[in-house]
């Protein structure tokens, strides 16, 4: 993909490669590995995992994940570490810059979202708030 800009010296149009868009979300190695495991066990055809946010929880919003059987026209498609993540269009602004990780502790395991847009989270870590 290229963009056309005007050369500052000559005033002539010049085509330059467009800067690649940053990914809305990135995955840690552990998260990518776990998503691959989950997708391998899915029933039916799965093209990726869809992430959305819901208005719920102590802090106001929570993350939701589900199998995606197809790409919706407005989904933000992110490919990272051979994993396809589809982001619901209403969730993109809340997730920009987020890193998705997978943690396993003594008593629990699950996905953890390191979201730079979150200004508050509930005590259990299930929900977040943005300003």
Q: What CATH code is carried by the domain that includes residue 29?
A: 2.60.300.12
Tally of CB atoms within 10 A around 71: 13
The domain containing residue 70 runs over which residues? 20-130
Domain membership flag for residue 1: no
Domain membership flag for residue 95: yes
Q: How many domains does the chain fold into?
A: 1
Secondary structure letter of residue 70 according to DSSP: S
Domain membership flag for residue 25: yes
How far is Cα 100 from Cα 25, in angstroms, rounded to an integer?
Answer: 7
pTM of the model: 0.78
Q: Which residues contact 107 (CB under 8 A, 6 or more apart)?
A: none
Residue 4 has pLDDT above 70, yes or no: no
pLDDT in tens, 63-118: 999 999 999 999 999 999 999 999 999 999 989 999 999 999 998 899 999 989 88
Kind and range of the H or E run holding 92: helix 92-95
Please say whether the beta carbons of 45 and 114 come within 8 A: no
Query: Which structure tokens are listed for 118?
Result: 């979150």
Domain membership flag for residue 104: yes
pLDDT in tens, 20-76: 777 899 999 999 999 999 999 999 899 999 999 998 877 788 899 999 999 999 999
Domain membership flag for residue 15: no
Domain membership flag for residue 2: no
Domain membership flag for residue 119: yes
Alpha-carbon torsion angle 26, 27, 29, 33, nearest 10: -140
Domain membership flag for residue 54: yes
Half-sphere exposure of residue 40, counting CA atoms within 13 Å on the CB side? 6
SS3 content of the chain, % helix, strand, coil (to 5): 10, 45, 40
Highest mean pLDDT among 2-6, 13-17, 43-47: 43-47
pLDDT the model gives residue 47: 94
Tally of CB atoms within 10 A around 23: 17
pLDDT the model gives residue 11: 74
């Amino acid at each position: 993909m290229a963009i056309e800009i005007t050369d500052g010296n000559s005033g002539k149009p010049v085509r330059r490669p467009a800067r690649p868009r940053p990914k809305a979300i990135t995955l840690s190695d552990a998260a990518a590995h776990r998503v691959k495991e989950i997708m391998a066990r899915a029933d039916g055809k799965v093209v990726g995992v869809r992430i959305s946010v819901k208005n719920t929880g102590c802090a106001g919003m929570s993350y939701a994940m589900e199998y995606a059987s197809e790409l919706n026209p407005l989904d933000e498609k992110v490919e990272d570490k051979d994993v396809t993540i589809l982001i619901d269009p209403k969730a993109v602004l809340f997730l920009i810059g987020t890193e998705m990780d997978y943690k396993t502790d003594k008593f629990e395991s699950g996905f953890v979202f390191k979201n730079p847009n979150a200004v508050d989270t509930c005590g259990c870590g299930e929900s977040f708030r943005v300003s």
